[in-house]
A and B are shown apart, each in its own frame.
Chain A
Amino acid sequence: MGAWALVVVVLWFLPSRVLTDYQLYTFNLALVNILLAIGLNLVIGVARQFALFSGALFGIGAYVAGICQVRYGMSFLAALPLAIVAAMLVSAATSLIAWRAGDLYLAMITFGFGEIFQFFLVHADGLTNGPDGLAVPRPNIAGVSFAAPGELYLLFLPLTVLAIAIYRLIETGKLGRLLTALGDSEPALASTGYDHRVVKTIAFAIQGAYAGLAGAFFAAAVGFIDPYSFGLSVTLQQLTAIAIGGLGSLAGALVGSITLTLIDRVLIDFPGVRELAYGVCLLIVFLAVPRGLAGILSRQKSLP
């Protein structure tokens, strides 16, 4: 407990004093990616539902938050829950597909959903401002402006820690047990009287909530959103992150998404190389450490 308190204090006070704005901006993106990764981890890593539309859910969060603020003059804090709920509802509705479709079909259909969503963002000019994108104002809470990356970091960090804590509660509780059970054996889950459809919808809804929160953060952190930030590459990046970290593990999702954020920042100027790097990372992990980075850590811990 003491160690955790120390970590929180260090994370709270240190970065905003010693790091440059760009580094803090990268930290903020890492927090966004952590939220995306843990949501995806719950659906793919734990519940084993191969839904590939994180990018779209992320975009729903970002655009709902952005549009509420730009077009309806809402504050960041008022728009935030709407962004979460919108992504949650869309994700839950999409889970109806998972009720019937097998793994491959679910992957293809959700992938298609992501593509259609991007098409919608580009063509619904009146709402989304189309391919020109939308400038999103910086959060202003009770007269305090969160404009600089260091200020935003202090706003995002506690909310992200809270989101991780909630994830941990879900993971270790009755619901987490059901989600793992769903991923392991649907027939066995049915034989205990649980309707797999309900469990799937809950898993998708939770992923939606995390992606929605991440989207709202992203819009605030970058200050500008356009349709091209929410495509397949986001989904692939998060998939790579949780695979590198170790599918199904919270620690893995955290380590993986931070690693990927750093790789992403280094390679930001080389668009093609970036995707290639994800692929190489995935290959190395699958060949060398199939259980991911978290797997290595837990193996060392269990040694005498």
Chain B
Amino acid sequence: MSALLELEDVCVRFGGLTAVADATMSFAEGEVHALIGPNGAGKSTVINCISGFQRRSSGEIRLGGETLPHLDAAAVARRGITRSFQTPQLFSRLSVIDNVRVAHQRQRRARLRVDDLLELVGLTEVAHHQAENLAYGQQRLLEVARALASSPRLLLLDEPAAGLASEDTERLSRLLKLIVTQFGVAVMIVEHNVPLVRRVADRISVMHHGLVIATGAPDDVLNDPAVIAAYLGGGNPSTEH
């Protein structure tokens, strides 16, 4: 697996506060890379930084080996990096299917048809409902479908399982497996649901106070004493379900 996107010593500072300090990580095609850590660790800031919603203060981001300049969010999206948001950002007055169409209509060679995308996330039956009337979990799934409609090379998901019922979480984890294996998409997922992360992630990075404190295979990282102390707490995470 070759690295599609690399972060090298990326810093994001807000005045005196360093939200992300010297973050170095990479995302490979066909791989799910999970970013975990306590609230305020800087996970969302990393996503914002990669997706062009937040300028980095220093450091370098490389896409396919080439330095990615400071671009606005739309330009980043056009280069194949799409995202979901921590608080769902839907086109609330549009129907479910039209939400997906907005992203889909830009694609010349879309990977999937709109109907197939809705089928994948299980929203076919509510395709013509107005997006604002969806249940919270469905809103999150719709965001994932919309992000996929752009046929991304790198998909950034900010807590996609928050508020999802267990069957929807199940669907999400199957979906993630499918898109990395079938389409070779690189996925970065920020998530608090550790069992889900354990199931889908090929690699995990842990952030704490803006620093990446561990990176590696799920078993190694989740059993790392520093990670347990900073994030997972006293209980043995491997017994969590």
Chain B residues within an 8 Å CB radius of A184: 90-94
Q: Tell me if A189 counts as interface (CB < 8 A to partner B).
A: yes
Given contacts A174-B105, A178-B102, A194-B74, contact A188 B94 (CB under 8 A): no
Task: Kindly state the interface size class of chain A when it binds its partner.
Answer: 10 to 19
A192 / chain B contacts, CB cutoff of 8 Å: 77, 82, 102-103, 106, 146, 149-150
Interface residues on B, range: 20 to 34
Find out whether the CB atom of A193 lies under 8 angstroms from the CB atom of B150. Answer: yes
Q: Which chain B residues (92-107) contact chain A, with CB distance < 8 Å?
A: 92-94, 98, 101-103, 105-106
Residues from chain B with Cβ under 8 Å of A181 in the complex: 91, 94, 102
Q: Is A195 in contact with B98, judged by CB distance below 8 angstroms? A: no
- Chain A residue with Cβ nearest B53: A187
Q: How far is the CA of A194 from the CA of B92 in the complex (A)?
A: 17
B121 located at the interface, meaning its Cβ lies under 8 Å from any Cβ of chain A in the complex? no
> Does the CB pair A196–B90 fall under 8 Å?
no
Q: Decide: B92 and A177 in contact? CB cutoff 8 A.
A: no
Chain A residues with CB under 8 Å of B77's CB are 190-193
Shortest A299–chain B CB gap in Å is 14
- Given A188, A190, A193, A248, which contacts B91 in the complex, CB threshold below 8 Å? A188
Task: Kindly state the separation between the CA atoms of A187 and B73 in the bound complex, as whole angstroms.
Answer: 8
Q: Note all chain B residues with C-beta closer than 8 A to A188.
A: 85, 89-91, 146
| Per-position binary interface string of chain A over residues 200-241, scored 1 when its CB falls under 8 Å from any chain B CB and 0 otherwise | 000000000000000000000000000000000000000000
Q: Is A15 an interface residue (CB 8 A)?
A: no
Q: Is A183 an interface residue, CB under 8 A from the partner? A: yes
B92 to chain A: closest residue by CB = A184
Would you call B94 and A180 a contact (CB within 8 A)? yes
Q: Which residues of A contact B103 (CB under 8 A)?
A: 192-193
Asked whether any CB of chain B lies closer than 8 Å to the CB of A185, the reply is yes
Chain B nearest CB from A224 CB (Å) reads 41
Q: What A residues does B91 contact at CB under 8 A?
A: 177, 180-181, 184-185, 188-189
Indicate the member of B73, B85, B90 with the most A CB atoms within 10 Å. B73
Contact A190 B73 (CB under 8 A): yes
Give, as a whole number of angstroms, the nearest-CB distance from B44 to chain A: 13
Q: Which of B134-149 contact A (CB under 8 A)?
A: 146-147, 149
Residues of chain B with a CB closer than 8 A to A189's CB: 74, 91, 102
CB distance from A79 to the nearest CB of B (A): 37
Shortest beta-carbon distance from B211 to chain A in Å:
27
User: Does B72 make an interface contact (CB < 8 A)?
Assistant: yes
| B51 contacts chain A at the CB level, 8 A cutoff | yes
Bound-complex Cα distance A181 to B106 (A): 14
**Contact across chains for B94 and A193 when beta carbons are under 8 A apart:** no
Contacting pair A195 B85 (CB below 8 A): no
Give chain B residues whose Cβ lies under 8 Å from the Cβ of A248: 93
Interface: B78 (CB within 8 A): yes
A180 to B99 Cα, complex, angstroms: 10
The reply to whether A187 and B74 contact each other, CB–CB distance below 8 Å, is: no
A191→B82 contact, CB < 8 A: yes
Q: How far is the CA of A215 from the CA of B94 in the complex (A)?
A: 32
Q: How many Å lie between the Cα of A196 and that of B77 in the bound state? A: 13
The smallest beta-carbon distance between A12 and chain B, in angstroms, is 34
A191 to B156, CA, bound (A): 11
Tell me which residues across on chain A come within 8 A of B33, comparing CB atoms: none
Give the Cβ gap from A247 to chain B, nearest Cβ, in Å.
10
- The digit string for B70-89, where 1 denotes a CB below 8 A from any CB of A, is 00111101100011010001
Q: Are A177 and B98 in contact (CB under 8 A)?
A: yes
Q: How far is the CB of B56 from chain A (nearest CB, A)?
A: 17
Interface residue from B51, B53, B72, B93 paired with A183 (Cβ < 8 Å): B93
Which residues from B are CB-within-8-Å of A177?
91, 94, 98, 101-102, 105
Within A103-153, the residues touching B (CB, 8 Å) are none
Chain A residues with CB under 8 Å of B102's CB are 177-178, 181, 189, 192, 194
A177 and B91 alpha carbons, distance in the complex (Å): 9
- Alpha-carbon gap, A195 to B90, bound state (A): 17
The CA-CA distance from A192 to B107 in the complex, in Å, is 10
Q: Considering the complex, which residues of chain A in the window 152-193 have a beta carbon less than 8 Å from any beta carbon of chain B?
A: 174, 177-178, 180-181, 183-185, 187-193
Smallest distance from the beta carbon of B189 to chain A beta carbons, Å?
16
Known A-B contacts A177-B105, A192-B102, A193-B150; A187 and B89 likewise in contact (beta carbons under 8 Å): yes
Q: A184-B90, A191-B89 are in contact. List 8 more A-B contacts (CB 8 A).
A: A174-B101, A177-B105, A181-B94, A184-B92, A185-B90, A191-B73, A194-B106, A195-B75
Q: 28 A-B Cβ contacts within 8 A?
A: A174-B101, A177-B94, A177-B98, A177-B105, A178-B102, A181-B94, A183-B93, A184-B90, A185-B89, A185-B92, A188-B85, A188-B89, A188-B91, A189-B74, A189-B91, A189-B102, A190-B52, A190-B72, A190-B77, A191-B77, A191-B82, A191-B85, A192-B77, A192-B82, A193-B74, A193-B77, A193-B78, A196-B74
- A interface residues (Cβ-Cβ under 8 A, vs B): 174, 177-178, 180-181, 183-185, 187-196, 248
Q: Top 5 closest A-B pairs, CB basis?
A: A190-B73, A193-B77, A192-B103, A188-B89, A184-B91
